[in-house]
Amino acid sequence: MVELDVRGLSCPEPVLNLKPLLDRGESEIKVLCSCGASSDNIRRLAKNSGYNVLSETQNDEDLEFILKKS
């Protein structure tokens, strides 16, 4: 599993950092994010790129997504 830590970055940087991993076709990606505004964009980009959001958890201000290639 590849881990992408984009905590501390604001929109649209988390999505811009995620896109190359999706384009490469990584099988599973863990995304750590602190920008709540990016969460909808992360889910949308994952879905449009053929990924499922296996889990989404929140720890204090941080969000963790587990994405899996469909």
Distance (Å, whole) CA 15 – CA 42: 6
Helical segments of 10-55, H only: 13-24, 38-48
Query: Helix, strand or coil for residue 6?
Result: coil
Mean pLDDT computed over 8-25: 96
pLDDT tens digits, residue range 48-62?
A: 999 999 999 998 889
- Please state, rounded to an integer, the average pLDDT across all residues of the chain: 95
Contact 14, 31 (CB under 8 A): yes
Determine if the pTM surpasses 0.85. Answer: yes
Instruction: Give the model's pLDDT for residue 33.
Output: 96
Instruction: Give the model's pLDDT for residue 6.
Output: 97
Confidence of residue 8 (pLDDT cuts 50, 70, 90): very high
Closest to 15 measured CA to CA, from 49, 50, 41: 41
